Chain A
Amino acid sequence: MMARHLRRKLWSHALTALMGLCVIVVLIPFASIVYEAASIGGPVLSPTLFTAGLPAPCSPVNGVVCPVGGIGPALQGTLILIGLAALISVPIGLAAAIVASEYRGRFLGLAISFVADVLTGLPSIIAGVFIYAYFVIYYPSIVYSTITGALALSVIMIPIVTRTTEVALRTVPQELREAALALGIPKWRTTLQIVVATALPAILTGILLAVMRASGEAAPLLFTAFGSRLGFTGLTNPIEALPLMIYNFAESGWHNWIQLAWAGALVLILLILVTSLLSRWTIQRMVRRMRGG
């Protein structure tokens, strides 16, 4: 009797320890990535890294000192691509979310929720293939350009903005809408000035999430933005992006390019971790406020 009890207890403790071990194992790759990025890319972090151009490829042989260069063109390209993609995707995403949340019950609303959900699972490379194939047929001269890059990223961002905004709008208490409508305020003004205004922090968080996701994407840019050592030279020309640079430099084998790729990875990780933590904090604060706490 006693032995059986002891065995069950031991079994339970053993499994608990094993599950604790899972947590540690899960965190090992993360620690390794951060360590590598910080130890290789960290030493070249400086203000000039963000502005200097991409260096010529070089490996230190026979005492040659390699130019470090910077990620200026890649950073600039990412900012331009993301800015344009946000200009396209935010209005569409907001509009779609308002239909889905405020004009529910209509077939359109349900369809939007579902399609947005499904599209968030679209493999990001398919977004690139779609834009590439479309432009190859209709506008072959600008297949590799800032425009196609921004469009491919907006295909990824639209469903994310739609989903997060829809969720945000639904957290707004129904009483607020009813009170506004009871005062005779038209539905569209209620939606904009009461519902959207109340949910604004969470909506902005959603947009931030979409921006964050898109700024790390390389796959949809492989055959749209394409990459360019020069940075931005016009909307119809190819453009560099930080994730594209990391991909190309990682496989290059050149010493200074690989170092720069780690530095780029470090910058990207830091950027994304900070925005991610910031958005979490905003959501938590908003949820607390909604509950009247």
Chain B
Amino acid sequence: MFLGFVTAGGVVLLVLIFLILAVLIAQSEPAFRAFGLEFLVGTRWDVTRQVYGVIPFVAGTLITSGIALLLGLPLALGAAIFLTTQAPVAFRGPLGTVIDLLAAIPSVVYGFWGLLVLAPFMRTTADPALQRYLGWTGAFGGTATGTGVLTAGVVLAIMVIPTISAISRETLAAVPASQREAALSLGATSWETTRVASLPYARAGIFGATVLGLGRALGETMAVTMTIGNHDAVPTSLFSQGQSIASLIANELVNNTGPLQYSAIIEAGLILLMISLLVNVGARLLLWRVTGSVGSEAPR
């Protein structure tokens, strides 16, 4: 009786993932029929001509997530190393807790802040400075309107930092003290100790944490929808307004212009699901192997 009940609960969980996949696959069939593999390489999302390609949104998703990791990883890692090895012991716990709590702030609040505080700052201060000093790279062309892939990427960076930092701190704290003491006793400075004793030991855990952060950035909806500018085209510069797969769904699923666009949006969602399942399975396997546990106890 009891075993039957709990087994039923377990089965519901297992069925859930297959049901999600089945529903999305069934609903994306019309788009798949119409465009086949063209959908995966198409660079145009044209509502009037009813031609749909997913590349603008895959590009928007990957560019914003890439910016998030590029900015977020060094900051998260720097903070994690400082808080595990350098900070006064009394500060370590409280400061770490504060950074972990950042993960619990709802994404719509980050988006709200990004739209009303960060975007104006980007338009008036950060974007002109970038254009002036890094304009030669060609990545900062066009007019900066405040919202765009760069602003969305910065908000995502702020959001992945707590995820990466929490698990990195956990793995760095798990480095045996004897490892560090050995390096210190050989006369290594505190940075050299971190470099030769801590980082190699914690490398796999940090990598797993980064992939988990990437997973969070790829699927993030509200913060990106509110800051990316919502423009259905491949970004040509970091100031371009764009669209991620998640923001496409948020903006156009309900306001779709017909069954074909509806189906194409669901197929884009299926691609997002596949990408994030892949990234998450990868991260979990890595973390499972390294620590025997996973960082899912931390509030997100």
Contacts and interface: CB of A to CB of B under 8 A. Distances in A.
B8 interface: yes
Contact of B82 (A22, A217, A223): A22
Nearest to B251: A222
Interface in B233-260: 246, 249-250, 253-254
Given A9-B189, A129-B269, A119 B16 contact: yes
A269 B218 CA distance: 23
Contact of B226 (A22, A95, A115, A250): A250
A269 B253 CA distance: 29
Nearest to A36: B117
B101 A273 contact: yes
A216 interface: yes
A19 B14 CA distance: 43
Contact of B158 (A11, A29, A129, A130): A29
A278 to B, nearest CB: 11
Given A29-B113, A129-B266, A222-B250, A247 B8 contact: no
B253 A112 contact: no
Given A26-B99, A269-B105, A276-B104, A126 B273 contact: yes
B27 interface: yes
B109 A26 contact: no
Given A124-B219, A246-B112, A269-B105, A251 B23 contact: no
Nearest to A144: B254
Contact of B2 (A36, A163, A188): A188
Contacts of B5: 95
Nearest to A11: B191
Nearest to B113: A33
A18 interface: yes
Interface residues of A, number: 93
Contacts of A219: 107, 221-222, 246, 250
Contacts of B293: 167
B6 A30 contact: no
Contacts of A122: 20, 219, 273, 276-277
A160 to B, nearest CB: 8
B138 interface: no
Interface centre among A99, A111, A209, A213 (most CB of B within 10 A): A99
Q: Taking chain B's interface residues, is the majority helix, strand, or loop, or is none over half, making it mixed?
A: helix
Nearest to A32: B117
Contact of A279 (B26, B192, B299): B299
A282 interface: no
A125 B6 contact: no
Contacts of B81: 19
Contacts of B250: 125, 219, 222
A232 interface: no
A129 B115 contact: no
Interface in B74-101: 74-79, 81-83, 86-87, 95, 97-99, 101
A261 B222 CA distance: 14
A126 to B, nearest CB: 5
Contact of B113 (A32, A114, A155): A32
Interface in A233-260: 243, 246-247, 250-251, 258
A26 B164 CA distance: 12
A20 B86 contact: yes
Contacts of B37: none
Contact of A130 (B23, B109, B294): B23
Interface centre among B10, B14, B95, B101 (most CB of A within 10 A): B10
Contacts of A37: 109
Contact of A16 (B7, B86, B300): B86
B115 to A, nearest CB: 6
Interface string A85-97: 0000001111110
Contacts of B246: 123, 125, 219
Given A117-B280, A160-B296, A213-B104, 6 more contacts: A12-B191, A22-B75, A121-B283, A133-B27, A216-B105, A250-B226
In the A-B complex, the 8 residue pairs with the closest CB atoms:
A95-B9, A123-B219, A216-B106, A22-B78, A121-B280, A188-B2, A12-B189, A19-B82
25 contacts: A19-B78, A23-B95, A25-B75, A30-B102, A32-B113, A95-B10, A111-B14, A118-B284, A120-B280, A121-B219, A121-B276, A122-B219, A130-B24, A137-B23, A167-B297, A188-B2, A209-B299, A216-B105, A219-B107, A223-B253, A247-B222, A265-B109, A268-B106, A272-B105, A276-B299
